[in-house]
Every structure is written in C-alpha cells, then in structure tokens.
Structure 1
C-alpha cells in the first residue's frame, strides 16, 4: 500500500493527522482513510519543521495495520541544492530506512533544483518532488501518474481535506 499523509495544526496546540492508503498511483479513491488526533505538538521552530511534524506522522503510522510500501509527505525529503535533510528524510531515518519516502511540496524552497519541478494538468505552477529510497525520476513519474487533471493529485487533495475536516470518506 501507498500512504499519503498530511497534518493540520490547531490553535489550541494539537493537530489532526490524516492518511489515505491506496494501491495504485492512478487510483481515484483511497482504499482506506485514517484520522488521528495529537493533543500536544511542539512549537514551530524555523528550519526545524520536522521536529513538529514527524511525531504526528509517527503516531498516525501506529494506527495503520496495513503494510505500507511507500509514504508520500506534504513537503520535502531533501532541501535545497545541497540536499539537506527535510521532513521526509527524517521520517525515512525514523523508520530505519525501510520505507521509501516521496515529498510533494507546493512551494519552492530556496535553491530547489529545477529537476524537482513537475507540471500537472494545465497548471503553469509546479509541484516540487523529492525522494529517498526511490530514484527521483521514478518519484516524479509516479506523482505525474496520480489521478486528477489538476495541479494537485486527487488523493493528495483528499488527505489535505480529511485533516482539515472538509472531506469524509
């Protein structure tokens, strides 16, 4: 199974963490959706985003009983031209480098190499793809193959909506 995850932070200090599981990159609907709540979340620390997000994703993974073969995170695996570790790399290491991670970001990070950009649908605004445990060209191809004719693939939009409470499976 492939798992796409997203986190929505709450004003009270907690977070809602969502995941959608799917079998094929072209799937229009998830096989299963998972939602969990984290009551205490670290404060945002500039340049250390993973410290806030990683514990939330790990808690969601504890609630999943299916075998996960690959995880897609909302963000970067590596940052900038020098490939500094981002959220996805920290997740990969926390999972003992057993599960490949693909990061899909909506905004460019400073010095993001052009080979991380993909255009989907008719959009002129790129998504930024990075990965570990899988070649970048394969990661890009998989994200391009995801269902949906718009910039954001259908299932990545679904996981975002799920954690924001605007979609229920």
Structure 2
C-alpha cells in the first residue's frame, strides 16, 4: 500500500508541492520524497481554496507518476465534516473516487463537530480528521496510529518542511 502525505507552500505566484510516501500508517521513515514547483499558480479565492491547491497536488501526482492508495491532505475533505466539499473531496473526485483521501486539519473550521477531533501526543489542541473512501472512525484510528509523539505526525510534518524548502533561495 502507498500512503502519500502532501502539502503545498505558496510564495507570490509560485507554489512548492511536496509528497512523502510510506507503506504503513505506523512508519517512521519515508519510502519516497517527491517535489514539484508550479509557476504561476492560481490566486487564492476566499471559500474556494481547492481551486488553488488541487492543481498543485494533481501536478505532483502526475509528474512523478504516483499511484497512491491513500492521500493525506493538510486540510479538510468535508468542510462541515460530511457534506460540504473541501479540498480533499475535490481531490477524491479528481482521482475518480478510487483513492482514499484523509484530511488532517490543524485548525477548526466553523461547523465541524467534535466527533471529527483526535488528540495526539498529549496535546490539548485537536487535529480534525475527515475522509472520503474510508469510514471516519477508521480514518481517525489511522491518524492516531501515525508515527510521532507530537500533535502533528512525523511524516506529515516532513511534507510541510519539504514544501517550505522547495522555494528557498
């Protein structure tokens, strides 16, 4: 199984996308590291974040000929937990509904109920988990099983660090 954690960093009209692949939810080390830079990238549109981020993630997957079974996005699959589509749902649809998408958000989005919260690493601040193609309870259990003793799992943090490095210099 290929699990792919993705993150995107923006600077002016450019975007750096990073993907970290691993084989098992509990893995501490990446199986693969992938990066893509896009220039230009779409402008941010309030309430339409996916229009900016989705093309970046799809470009990473296409450019590196990736075939993940699961993609973990930094954000929401559903903005209200289960109906209002967010980035992850749009990605799920763009991938033909054949790839599980798990959203792991660090910030609460208004309207997301407490049932989507998970607490890791003794943190009092939750992560918010939403999913498409996997039941919520299974997605929450998977996120809890991800390696790392802190709130943000090790390989999700690595994707964040790598995308930020992609535009350095």
**Normalized against structure 2, the TM-score is what?**
0.94
Tell me the matched-pair count: 165
Q: Which 4+ runs in 1 deviate beyond 3 A? A: none
Residue 82 of structure 1: how far off its partner (Å):
5.9
Gaps of 5+ in 2: none
Give the root-mean-square deviation of aligned CA atoms. 1.2
Gaps of 5+ in 1: none
User: Distance between the aligned counterparts of 2:124 and 2:28, measured in 1?
Assistant: 23
User: Distance between the aligned counterparts of 1:81 and 1:142, measured in 2?
Assistant: 17
**What residue number does 2:126 align with?**
126
Distance 1:124 1:16, change over 3 A: same
**What residue number does 2:147 align with?**
147
The 5-angstrom pairing of residues 32-71 of structure 1 reads: 32-71=32-71
**Normalized against structure 1, the TM-score is what?**
0.94
User: Distance between the aligned counterparts of 2:19 and 2:146, measured in 1?
Assistant: 16
User: Distance between the aligned counterparts of 2:88 and 2:27, measured in 1?
Assistant: 23
- SS in structure 2 of the partner of residue 91 of structure 1: helix
User: Distance between the aligned counterparts of 1:81 and 1:139, measured in 2?
Assistant: 12
